[in-house]
């Protein structure tokens, strides 16, 4: 296969005014390495290496729109103007190396304030939250805690909801000021918007609860408000937990199809299809976690809601990724932990699929050395296989 007819994984994709160089996206992964919400050298190296590795679009970790709604104490943030310049340094490096970058905007809601995974991931105590330099407050549609060990959130009133919507819009403006190409709205994993969507977390009887239409209102209000301030030539993504894992009567695929159609009407261009996480008990979704276990969610929304989708979850092999695209199950392939394992996965996938036999897709400063080594390495391996010294 030549670059004249590359595999689907390495064909460009146009989204509004942005053309992605291939279909590989780096999924958001919390790093807990920010300083007061400001990006640090860790983010420059962590995200920058994926641009060198050949990904088309790199999404930042969950980036808080409100210090009260951080997942952890060292989350990235865009709740104040001083956070723009450090992020722009990362954006500029990514752009200089041929990739696009997106920011995932989020409010953790009733799941705000938890330990990093390497410390156990448990809820921070009220005393710990109170001692932090930035203000914290767990917020939700109702006063139902996220699970054992979590304090009850404050139920948002109409003014509080309006404040949240505006904070998303203000953070999107800051993302644009930093030169970001894509905003992804985090509406999954049990965070604030996901808790409004679920009838198991949202027990309201007003305009933001009750019916599916009422429970979707916050998500749609945020999408509309962000779209009005986010430049028309820039794509807008939304991440959903297509099923929230909360059991009978919880948020379902059919609900996500309705929401995806409505989000598209609000100007959302791609739905990023994840699952689970409504509570701590639903972190482990009751779906077998085999290869590509969430791909059927992306396929159903793409087919039945008529939206572009991004598949994520245990996609580890180039042939597997190509097959997902070939079957029309998704438009984009997101990798997360596989990219941590191999930051150069896109380049290795291009070689495996015959799209880059001569290291031409690699950064010039890398590819020239690898191409120079290739003939000698091939001879050495052939000699070894033949038993030659």
Residues annotated catalytic, as ranges: 191
Q: Are 90 and 101 in contact (CB under 8 A)?
A: yes
Question: How many CB atoms sit inside 10 A of residue 152's CB?
Answer: 13
Alpha carbons 155 and 190: distance in angstroms, whole number: 15
Instruction: Report the C-alpha gap between 91 and 141 in whole angstroms.
Output: 34
3-class SS string, 45-114: HHHHHHHHCCCCEEEEEEEECCHHHCCCCCCEECCCHHHHHHHHHHHHHHHHCCCEEEEEEECCHHHCCE
| Distance, CA of 378 to CA of 373 (rounded, Å) | 9
Task: Tell me if 187 sits within 8 A of 193, measured CB to CB.
Answer: yes
Q: How far apart are CA 171 and CA 230, in angstroms?
A: 10
Q: How far apart are CA 151 and CA 119, in angstroms?
A: 19
Give me the residue label for tokens 């290739």.
374
Tokens of 75: 């989350």
């Amino acid at each position: 296969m030549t670059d004249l007819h590359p595999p689907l994984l390495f064909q460009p994709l146009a989204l509004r005014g942005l053309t992605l160089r291939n279909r590989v996206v780096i999924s958001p992964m919390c790093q807990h390495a920010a300083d007061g919400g400001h990006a640090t050298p860790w983010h420059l190296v962590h995200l920058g290496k994926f641009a060198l590795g050949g990904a088309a679009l790199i999404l930042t970790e969950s980036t808080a729109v409100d210090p009260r709604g951080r997942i952890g104490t060292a989350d990235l943030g865009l709740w104040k103007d001083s956070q723009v310049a450090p992020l722009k340094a990362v954006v500029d490096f990514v752009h200089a190396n041929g990739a696009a970058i997106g920011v995932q905007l989020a409010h953790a809601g009733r799941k705000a304030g938890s330990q990093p995974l390497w410390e156990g991931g448990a809820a921070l105590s009220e005393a710990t939250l109170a001692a932090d330099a930035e203000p914290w407050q767990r917020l939700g549609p109702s006063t139902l805690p996220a699970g054992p060990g979590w304090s009850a959130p404050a139920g948002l009133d109409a003014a509080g909801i309006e404040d949240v919507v505006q904070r998303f819009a203000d953070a999107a403006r800051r993302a644009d000021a930093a030169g970001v190409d894509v905003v992804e709205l985090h509406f999954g994993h049990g965070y604030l918007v996901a808790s409004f969507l679920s009838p198991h977390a949202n027990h309201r009887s007003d305009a933001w609860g009750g019916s599916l239409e009422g429970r979707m209102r916050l998500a749609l209000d945020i999408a509309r408000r962000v779209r009005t301030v986010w430049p028309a030539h820039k794509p807008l993504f939304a991440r959903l937990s297509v099923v929230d894992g909360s059991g009978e009567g919880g948020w379902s695929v059919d609900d996500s199809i309705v929401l995806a159609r409505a989000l598209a009407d609000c100007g959302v261009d791609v739905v990023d299809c994840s699952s689970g996480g409504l509570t701590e008990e639903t972190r482990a979704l009751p779906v077998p976690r085999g290869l590509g276990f969430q791909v059927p969610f992306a396929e159903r929304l793409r087919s039945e809601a008529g939206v572009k989708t991004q598949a994520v979850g245990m996609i580890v092999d180039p042939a597997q990724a190509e097959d997902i695209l070939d079957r029309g199950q998704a438009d984009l392939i997101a990798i997360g932990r596989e990219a941590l394992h191999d930051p150069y996965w896109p380049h290795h996938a291009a070689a495996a699929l015959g799209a880059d036999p001569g290291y031409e897709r690699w950064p010039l400063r890398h590819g020239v050395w690898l191409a120079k080594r290739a003939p000698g390495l091939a001879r050495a391996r052939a000699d070894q296989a033949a038993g030659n010294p």
